[in-house]
Every structure is written in C-alpha cells, then in structure tokens.
Amino acid sequence: MLQAQTWNSVRAEKLYQQAVVEIKSAQQQKALKSLEEAIKLNPAHIDAQVQLARIYMAQKHYDQSIRTAQIVLRASPEYEDVYYYIIGSYLSKNRPAEALRYVEMGLARFPANKDFGIKKLNILDMLKRYQDGDSWAQVLIRRFPTDGSVRLAMAGHYEAKADWYKGNKMDNLANSYYEKALELAPKNTDLIEKMNNLVSQGGDYDARIAKANAILNSDSKSYNALFQKLSLLQESHRYAEALEVLRLILRYYPKDKKALVLNNSLRKEAAGYYQNTDTYALYQSILDQNPGDREALEKVVGIAASRGETTQALYWVDRALQRNAGDRILLRRKMDFEYQLQRYQTAADIAAKLYGSNSDKAFRSEALQMINACGSYYLQQQQADSAIVYYDRTLYLDHSNMPALQGRISALVLQNNLSSALRELDQAISYYPNDIDLQLKKAGFLAQSGKIQQAVALSEKLYASYPGNPKIKSLYLEQKLAAANACILVEEYGEAETHLRQLLIEDNDNKEALHYLSNILDLRRRYPEALLIVQQALQSYPGDREFLQKKASILHNSAQYMAAAQVATMLRTEYPYNQKYRTMVQDAWMSAGLAFQKKGLADSAVFCFDRVLEGNRTDSLAYGNKINLLMAKGDFAYALQSVDTALQHFEYAEPFLLKKVIVLDSLGRFVEAAHYADTLSKRFDLRKHREYAALLRSKTMQNAFGISLLNSSFSGVDDNPAPPAYRIATLYYTRRLSPKISYGAQLLFTGRQSGTGIMGEGDLTYTANKLLYWNASIGISNNVLLPKYRLAYSLYRQLGKGFEGELGARFLEVVAIKAVSLVAGASKSFDPFLLNARIFAIKEEKDFYFAFQAGAKYELTEADLLQANFGLGTSPDDRSRLILLPELGGVMSRSVGAGYRRTINYRTSIGINGTYTSQKIGTATFRNQYDLLLALQVKF
C-alpha cells in the first residue's frame, strides 16, 4: 500500500510539472487535464490544487474554483494567491458578502497586503456599507499615506457614496462627497461632469460653489473661478466666506479695480444683511469699524471658535496682537488656536514665553504640554535634533518633567545614541525611583546596546520584586532568552543552558527556549537530555513539525538511526513534498544500514538499504552497500538481482558493471561473466579490467594442454662415477566436464642405454560438495625405468578458516618391488600465501619407513607465483627419483627447491623449478641430485 501511494505521488508530481510547462505555453486545456489527473492520484498535492483553482476561475468555472480554493485554504492557509482566486470567483458570481469574508481572512493573515485592503473597500461599497467604508478608508490612508492606488480607491468610495446620495435625492450630501472625491482625484473628468449635472439639475448654490472649488483645487489662483465663487457666496448671503474669498483675490491681484470696489460695497452689504440676523456678523462689522473694541473681539473669536472656524478665530487674534503684541490673554488664546491647528512650534514658542511670567500651576502644566507636543511632533517626523531642542526647553523649565524626559530618551534612541539614552534614563530614574516603566525601559535599552548581562540582572531584580507584574515577567523571559542567544553566539553553551533552564522554570512551554536548549544539548552530545527536552516540547506542542524534526535529528546524532527513521517517516508522510523530510528519512536509513554493516549484521543492514531504495530508486550508495553485503554473505543470486536493478538506473556504470562481473564469476557463470567483463574493459580501458576479462575468458576454456621437461643429474661418490643423468618429457591434457568433474591424461617419456620408458596416466577429480572432493589416478608403463604401475587416491576436506585436510593412499610397483603408502596432509591459505605439508608411511616389501614433504607458495601478482619446497626421505609422489626408487628405498635424503611460474593473459603458463637433494646412500656416504623442471601449459 505504501509503495502504491509513493508511486501515485511520483506520478502526480510528474503530471504537475507537465502542467506547469503547459501553462507557460498557454495550453490551458491540456494543463487542466494534467492537473485534474494529478489530483486524482494525490489529492494532497497542494500546488496542483492552487493551479487548478486559478485555471477554473480563468475559464469561468467559478463553483469549481471556489471548491478547490477552499480545499487549499483548509490545508495550507498561507497560500496568498488562492485568496485572489476565491474572492474573484465569488465576485463574478455576484456574491460580495462571501467575497468579503475571504477578504477579511486574507487581511488577517496578510495585513500588509494593499490589494486586499482596496478589495475590502470596493466590496463594502458594493454592499452599500458606506459608513464601514469610511472607517476602512481612514485605516487604509494611515497605512499607505502616499500610495496613489489607495487614494484612487478612496476617491472611488466617495464617488460611490455620492452617487447613492444623489439617487436618494440628497443633493447637498452628494455634492459634499463629490468634492471629497475631487480632492483625491482632481483630474477625474467623470467626477467633474457629475457635479456639473448635479448643478444643472438642481440649481442649488452649494453645488455650483463645489464646481468652483473643483476648479480651484486644480488652479488655486484662477481669476474667473475666484470671482465666480465670490459671486455665488454673495448671492447666497454667505458674506463671511465671500469676504475671505475677496481677501484672497486682493492678495493675488492687489490692483484689480473690480476687487477694490467690492472691498467696500461687499462689507456694507454684509453689514446690512447681518444687522438684525447674525450676531457674528454684527460684532465683525463692529471690529471693522473699531479694531480695538475688546468685547467685540472676544465675541467674534468666541463665536468663530464655537463654530469650529479655528483659522478665522486665529485671524482675529493675530489682528488684535498687531495692536497689542504683549497681551497675555491674547497670546494664550493664540497658543491654544495654534495648537489646535497643529502648529506646534508656534504654540510651543508662545508657551515658553508665557511660562516665566505666569505662576498659575494649571497654566504652567498646559504650557509644558504645548512645548512637549512640539517635541513629539518632531519625533513623529523623525527629526530627533529638533525634538531634543524642545524637550530641553521643557526640562529647562521643569527638570523632572516625565513626558519631556521620556521624549528626550526616545529622540536619543532615534539617533541610535544608546549610551546617552541610558544616561538620561538613569537621570529619570533618580527623579522617579519607583517608576516600573522606567526600569523596564532601562532593561530594554541595556539589552539593545549589547549589555545583556546587566539587562538580565536588572530584569531578575525587578521580577523578584514584582513577581505578579505581567509586563515585568514578559521582559524577564524575553531577556533571559536574549542572554541565552548571546551566549550561544560566543559559544558559551553552559551559561546559555543556565539561562534557558531558569526561563523554563517560569514558562515551561516557551517555544524558543525549548528550541535553543535542545539545540545546545544536541550540540554538546548530551542526547538523552536533549530528547527529554524535545519530548517536553511535544507535550506542549503536539505534532509540531519543527520539534519532530529536531527529535529525528537528535536520534540520528545519538546513533539511534531506526528510531530517527521512524520519526522522519512520520514527517514525510504528513508533508510528502517537503524535500528536507525526504532527505532525513534517506539519511536515517542509510546510517542505520551502515551501522548494522559495521556490526556484521548483514540482514538488518540489507533491510535498511532496501528502505533507502524505496525512497530513492537511484541511490547508488545504497545499491553498492547492499550488493557488497550480499556478496560477503555469499548470497550471489540476490546480489545479481540487485546489481541488475542498479544497472537499470545506472546503465553501464563502472562500479555496478564490475560487481555484476564478480557476482557472475562467483556463481560460476563464466561465459556471461566474460561477456560483461569484455564490455567493462572496452568502456573503461583500465589494465585491471583487461586482466579480469582475460581471467574470465580463461575460465570459460574447458581444455588445457601442456608439456614439461625434467632434467636430473647427480654428483659422484668418492671415486665412483655418478649415475647417468636422465630426462623425463611429459605431455598432458586436462578437460573440465562440469563444475564437479574434470579428468586428464599424461604421457611420460624417458630413456637410457637400457631402453626407453613410456608411461601413460589418467586422473579423475570429483567435487562432492563445497567441503569435500577427491582425486584418483592410475598409471601403467612398459616397466622400463618408470614404475610399472602407479595408483594414487586422495580425499580432501575443507576445515574452515583456510585449512584443508587430506587422507590418501599410494601404490607403486617398480622392478618387481611393490610399495604401499598411506598419506596424510594439511594446508593453510592466507592470501597471498599457501602452506602445505604431507607425511607418508611407506611399506616396501619387508621395510617400513616414512617420508615428509612441505611447501609454500606466494602469489606476487595474479600472474606471478613463487614457490619453495622441502622434503625428507623419498615419497611416492616424487617423480624425479622414482627411477632410482629401488636403491633409494628407506634412504634418508633431504631436498630443498624453489620455482617460479608466469601466467600470460590467464591462458598460457610458463614455469621453471629447481631442486637440490642430498642422498645418504651409505653409512657416511652421500650423493647429490640436481633437478631442473621446465613447463608450458596452454588453455583452450
């Protein structure tokens, strides 16, 4: 089931990648089919679902787009694009209420997304929730004060609201919102046309004045627009506003005759109109006639202020101050109006001027507030130097003023002058030693300036004094975490651990602290403790993938590879497209396999490497290790199957091709092995490959033919002549019928004056099983020089650990002398050496004696062999002395020899061997024998 699921996931991923290519080439319909098929194979493929939702929307399949997008958002709500698709689909279906719900969800997750904010404003207008739209428009403009698209969206909102008012016959309100829209989009011709239509349809003065305002928004000095507005205000008896427009005209056009005439006539007309109707106009007219009238001034200023016309009120105050610049009451009124108009610098200057000459505590507090307000304004504008100037003015007047102290500290921080800020903070604390907020701020600045230990000490002191204060606890925990982080950066892990454990005492499920502490313990190889911390974290955050990943990592580092693989597999199952988790699973199984391999647990190691290959069919290291293990076990059939699988993914890869050759060789399938070895040597032309190919070709050859020549010579005894030298020529042939049976034949020739000896021999070797095999031979001659009959049989058994044992018998008949022998031998191989020894018990007529042989072989290379031999007595296997057997029987002789053999291309062998023998033929008489053997063998 798991394999099928994995296969489906792989196919789904391929279909998704194919769909991406089709989308890029504008083949939307093909991409749609590919994506739908991918989802059928793997419904959890989120990226495919996202693309599917987009294509459904583009093809106007809105219901399908909505359903698909909802699936994505339930699984992975962080996909930002999906919100666009589902909002667009709902709007296309004219369901703005549902669209608004998903806009709100998008803004909750992506609050800085400007597009979502604009969409929300548009949808509120569609739902005719204009009041909510007004509030949201203000939020948008605060977030994006200079963004052109936001301003256009607000203009559209005001236009929509104005259209609604116009449709409901509320022309005045419609006109006011058209004006607001024009302020944001002064070049919008549609808005101007709507206002003109409103004027032409209704004919009211407000609309016509708004039209003039629209023109003045784009050109504030327009002569015609100014006079048009003045005329409309005059006709509607709004003389105060008309006089203000006239003042602007005279400022822009001071010599205009028409304006100069109106300056008198308009004032008289206004005074006459307001004489019995408007108190403000009456007092205003009085001031015009008598600017020094204090009562009229107070009335005009008071009425203007009560109407919210702060600028107008300030105008009359300034006009009065021109006559009496030092009037404290007027200066105080001016200070208040300047403050209301957010002209903080002017208000602060007046406040500072009045502070010293006024002992009233309430006023002094208000004056300091004005000065601080100016400092705060500059602080908001990021002008720290100007802010400090005004805070200093406050502190000059009141050295312990808390708002000024805090503002000055903030300005120093803005300048990134933390050392000065700390000094100021200490000064403030000296004035207010029990102020917790100042202490908290100091701890924060200490941490910010890198003085972590001091910050932690202060926060610990505060927390000890105020354990129930949530702000202090939060700071304490935050700075403990910061201190631990700082220690980690300088590799002071012990101190970092102390901070983290103290933090966890107060907040045992602090996620960052648990992360840091588990990392430290893992780094310091304290794996059991690290696992306990991770388990604690998983109790507080069950299923948290970061902690699960950490758990898998710690288990891996602590050599608990199987457990690490299980945890990593859980993560991979839940997040199948996360490459990190896939890699973790692979690494864990690979490490487990290598660990088992090192311990000699081959089956467990193979199991782990199989798990690696389940996750990645192209992991060459896993294939290599698995095959090596199977070869070491001797399971060559399974090894061959694994090699073939590897070669499907890595065709003609040198390592796997070589392993296949070795496995086939080990299975005895020499013909196939030779073919693959030939391919290997041709593709990778290396000497070792060529030699191996030659070796395997030689193993396919079932026949061998050889010739050897033995020359034996003797030294004389005292004055007696030495026996004549003799030579034995041997022709031999062997054939391997099967892996178990092989046979051979030999023909020996030797000659002297007494005649020529000819002997024929045949031998048979049979392998019963892996441990047991035997060899038998029989020879018959013409009874000239050579033994008349020669019979031999040996049984061999593998004893383990490189040892082999031998038991056998021999029979010889030479010149009517019969000899029967029993033989026992043993050999030991340890590459590149082989040692062997045999002992013979020989019964010859009435005599009984022993013989001993020992030998050693050393493989210099696969082609070169050195050998040495040593013997006591005359054994029935010693051909060079069988001719003299009657006279040497029972003679104690000693022999020593050495030889060399060279094999060319594993086919042709050339050898040479020399032996020296000392023969005791009398009580104190010795004779020496010298043997030289030359041999040549060819396989075919």
Report d(CA 565, CA 581) in Å as an integer: 10
Confidence band for 825, pLDDT divided at 50, 70 and 90: very high
List, as own/partner pairs, every contact residues 737-746 make where C-beta atoms lie below 8 angstroms and the sequence separation is at least 24, other chains included.
Answer: 737/702, 739/668, 739/767, 740/766, 740/767, 740/768, 741/765, 741/766, 741/767, 746/779
- Cα dihedral 627, 628, 629, 630 sign: positive
The count of other CB atoms within 10 Å of the CB of residue 865 is: 19
Confidence band for 3, pLDDT divided at 50, 70 and 90: very low
Q: What's the average model confidence in pLDDT over 476-497?
A: 77
- Are 874 and 888 contained in the same domain? yes
pLDDT of residue 7: 62
Q: Which of 910, 835, 917 is nearest to 871 (CA)?
A: 917
- Are 835 and 916 contained in the same domain? yes
Does the pLDDT value for residue 84 go beyond 50? Answer: yes
- Asked whether residue 554 is assigned to any structural domain, the reply reads no
In the Cβ-directed half-sphere of 11, how many Cα atoms lie within 13 Å? 15
- Asked whether residue 524 is assigned to any structural domain, the reply reads no
Q: For 37, list phi and psi in degrees, rounded to 5.
A: -65, -40
pLDDT of residue 747: 95
pLDDT of residue 278: 57
CATH number at 440 reads 1.25.40
- Domain endpoint, select from 455, 485, 507: 507
- Are 886 and 844 contained in the same domain? yes
Number of folded domains that form the chain:
4
Report d(CA 291, CA 722) in Å as an integer: 166
Residue in this structure with the two tokens 């050599």, named with its chain if needed: 559
List, as own/partner pairs, every contact residues 666-669 make where C-beta atoms lie below 8 angstroms and the sequence separation is at least 24, other chains included.
Answer: 666/631, 666/634, 666/636, 667/636, 667/637, 667/640, 668/739
| pLDDT tens per residue across span 838-849 | 999 999 888 888
**Residues of the domain holding 12:** 1-111
Report d(CA 278, CA 312) in Å as an integer: 16
Report d(CA 314, CA 336) in Å as an integer: 9
Bridge partner residues of 936 (DSSP): 707, 910
pLDDT of residue 463: 67
Q: What's the average model confidence in pLDDT over 481-487?
A: 76
Report d(CA 682, CA 690) in Å as an integer: 8
Q: What's the average model confidence in pLDDT over 512-541?
A: 87
Confidence band for 321, pLDDT divided at 50, 70 and 90: confident
Does the pLDDT value for residue 697 go beyond 80? Answer: yes
More confident residue, 387 or 459: 387
Does the pLDDT value for residue 506 go beyond 70? Answer: yes
Q: Which of 371, 366, 325 is nearest to 352 (CA)?
A: 371
The separation between CA 472 and the C-alpha centre of its own chain, rounded to angstroms, equals 37
| pLDDT tens per residue across span 653-664 | 889 899 999 999
| Sequential DSSP letters for 302-314 | HHHHHTT-HHHHH
| pLDDT tens per residue across span 184-217 | 887 777 877 777 666 555 555 666 777 778 778 7
- Asked whether residue 605 is assigned to any structural domain, the reply reads no
pLDDT of residue 5: 42
pLDDT of residue 391: 85
pLDDT of residue 885: 60
- Domain endpoint, select from 111, 130, 154: 111
Q: Which of 273-282, 424-433, 826-835, 924-933 bottoms out in mean pLDDT, i.e. has the lowest?
A: 273-282
pLDDT of residue 838: 95
SS3 state of residue 663: helix
| pLDDT tens per residue across span 114-165 | 888 899 989 988 988 887 888 888 888 878 877 888 888 888 888 888 888 7
More confident residue, 565 or 236: 565
- Asked whether residue 107 is assigned to any structural domain, the reply reads yes
Report d(CA 313, CA 320) in Å as an integer: 11
- Asked whether residue 810 is assigned to any structural domain, the reply reads no
- Are 895 and 749 contained in the same domain? yes
- Are 636 and 747 contained in the same domain? no
Does the pLDDT value for residue 726 go beyond 90? Answer: no
pLDDT of residue 129: 82
The count of other CB atoms within 10 Å of the CB of residue 820 is: 15
CATH number at 660 reads 1.25.40.10
- The span from the first CA to the last CA of the chain, in angstroms, equals 54
Does the pLDDT value for residue 313 go beyond 50? Answer: yes
Report d(CA 497, CA 486) in Å as an integer: 12
Highest mean pLDDT among 222-226, 318-322, 742-746, 781-785: 742-746
SS3 state of residue 835: strand
Q: Is 384 exposed, middle or buried (0-12, 13-18, 19+ CB in 10 A)?
A: buried
In the Cβ-directed half-sphere of 899, how many Cα atoms lie within 13 Å? 21
Highest mean pLDDT among 216-230, 307-321, 647-661, 819-833: 819-833
- Asked whether residue 468 is assigned to any structural domain, the reply reads yes
Report d(CA 826, CA 732) in Å as an integer: 27
SS3 state of residue 793: strand
- Domain endpoint, select from 94, 111, 128: 111
Percentage of the chain modeled with pLDDT above 70: 90
- Cα dihedral 359, 365, 367, 372 sign: positive
Percentage of the chain modeled with pLDDT above 90: 15
Residue in this structure with the two tokens 């602060």, named with its chain if needed: 348
- Are 750 and 677 contained in the same domain? no
Q: What's the average model confidence in pLDDT over 675-682?
A: 88
- Are 688 and 705 contained in the same domain? no
Highest mean pLDDT among 142-146, 238-242, 479-483, 868-872: 868-872
The residues near 281 (Cβ < 8 Å, ≥ 6 apart) are 239, 240, 270, 271, 273, 274, 275
Q: What's the average model confidence in pLDDT over 32-51?
A: 86
Does the pLDDT value for residue 8 go beyond 80? Answer: no
- Are 637 and 729 contained in the same domain? no
Q: Which of 267-271, 319-323, 656-660, 833-837 bottoms out in mean pLDDT, i.e. has the lowest?
A: 267-271
pLDDT of residue 315: 81
More confident residue, 287 or 164: 164
Query: Which element (helix H / strand E) includes 91?
Result: helix 80-92
Q: Which of 198-207, 403-412, 436-445 bottoms out in mean pLDDT, i.e. has the lowest?
A: 198-207
Confidence band for 797, pLDDT divided at 50, 70 and 90: very high
pLDDT of residue 2: 35
Q: What's the average model confidence in pLDDT over 776-803?
A: 92
Does the pLDDT value for residue 1 go beyond 50? Answer: no
- Asked whether residue 49 is assigned to any structural domain, the reply reads yes
Residue type, 361: K
pLDDT of residue 718: 63
Residue 254 is classified by DSSP as T
Bridge-based pairing state of the strands 789-800 and 803-814: antiparallel
- Are 729 and 862 contained in the same domain? yes
Does the pLDDT value for residue 4 go beyond 50? Answer: no
Q: Which of 312-316, 735-739, 908-912 bottoms out in mean pLDDT, i.e. has the lowest?
A: 312-316
Does the pLDDT value for residue 516 go beyond 50? Answer: yes
pLDDT of residue 882: 67
Mean residue pLDDT across the chain: 83
- Are 691 and 715 contained in the same domain? no
- Are 645 and 731 contained in the same domain? no
Report d(CA 935, CA 903) in Å as an integer: 12
- Asked whether residue 669 is assigned to any structural domain, the reply reads yes
* Interhelix angle 2-24/46-58, nearest 10 degrees: 40
Report d(CA 889, CA 722) in Å as an integer: 18
| pLDDT tens per residue across span 580-637 | 888 888 888 888 888 888 888 989 889 988 888 888 888 888 888 888 888 888 888 8
Max CA-CA distance within the chain? 179
pLDDT of residue 798: 93
Do the beta carbons of residue 337 and residue 354 sit within 8 Å? no
From residue 446, give the alpha-carbon distance in Å to each of 175, 423, 439, 674.
Answer: 57, 11, 11, 78
Q: For 241, list phi and psi in degrees, rounded to 5.
A: -70, -35
Q: What's the average model confidence in pLDDT over 417-434?
A: 77
Q: Which two tokens stand for residue 57?
A: 């929307």
Does the pLDDT value for residue 755 go beyond 60? Answer: yes
More confident residue, 87 or 882: 87
- Are 636 and 657 contained in the same domain? yes
Q: Which of 432-441, 507-516, 699-708, 723-732 bottoms out in mean pLDDT, i.e. has the lowest?
A: 432-441
In the Cβ-directed half-sphere of 649, how many Cα atoms lie within 13 Å? 15
Report d(CA 554, CA 560) in Å as an integer: 8
Q: What's the average model confidence in pLDDT over 397-415?
A: 82
From residue 450, give the alpha-carbon distance in Å to each of 443, 445, 460.
Answer: 11, 9, 17
The stretches of 527-686 forming alpha helices (DSSP H) are: 527-540, 545-557, 561-574, 579-599, 602-615, 620-633, 636-649, 654-666, 670-683
